[in-house]
């Protein structure tokens, strides 16, 4: 698993389309999230771990791991609500990327992402415990 936060201009439709193809090419699963909502590394990692666990336990809401990660990141049960809260925003400036797969494949995806979109990697912010709590709350709401 690899999580990172990037800065640059977001063209949501292009980014989702290109990243879908790149994810397949590199044999990884990728969740793209609003980098202004998912600002801390632990928040992103917690969403990934909870999503993986929900698939392992058969309690997942979505059939897509990428969407399940977004659901946990947002703390919402409805996909449309999760997309509104934590999904990419057209014209946004920051993207948080969660990549699930072998580390070398995730790194190759990240390099491709930076190159294709002219993004630059930025630091995550300090731990936001309330964001991490909202991730865990989705398990309770299920």
Q: Residues 59-118: pLDDT tens digits?
A: 999 999 999 999 999 999 999 999 999 999 998 899 999 999 999 999 999 999 999 999
Burial 129-142 (b: 16+ CB within 10 A, else e): eebbebbeebeeee
Domain holding 104: CATH number? 3.30.2380.10
Query: How crowded is residue 36: how many other Cβ atoms within 10 Å of its Cβ?
Result: 14
What mean pLDDT comes out for the span 36-42?
92
Whole-prediction pTM: 0.89
Structure tokens at 49: 């771990």
Q: Which two tokens stand for residue 93?
A: 């400036």
Into how many domains does the chain fold? 1
Smallest Cα–Cα separation from 33: which of 25, 61, 46? 46
pLDDT band at 132 (very low <50, low <70, confident <90, very high): low
Take residue 5 and report the two structure tokens written for it: 């936060």
Q: Which residues span the domain enclosing 31?
A: 2-141
Backbone angles phi, psi at 116, to 5 degrees: -70, -30
pLDDT at 131 over 90: no
């Amino acid at each position: 698993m690899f999580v990172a936060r990037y800065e640059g201009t977001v063209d949501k439709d292009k980014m989702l389309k290109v990243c879908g193809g790149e994810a397949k090419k590199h044999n990884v699963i990728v969740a793209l999230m609003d980098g202004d909502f998912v600002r801390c590394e632990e928040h992103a990692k917690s969403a990934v771990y909870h999503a993986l666990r929900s698939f392992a336990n058969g309690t997942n809401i979505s059939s897509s791991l990428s969407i399940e990660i977004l659901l946990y990141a947002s703390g919402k049960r409805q996909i449309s609500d999760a997309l509104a809260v934590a999904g990419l925003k057209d014209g946004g400036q920051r993207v948080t990327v969660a990549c699930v797969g072998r580390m070398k494949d995730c790194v190759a995806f990240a390099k491709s992402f930076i190159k294709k979109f002219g993004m630059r990697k930025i630091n995550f912010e300090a731990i936001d415990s309330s964001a991490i709590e909202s991730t865990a709350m989705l398990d309770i709401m299920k």
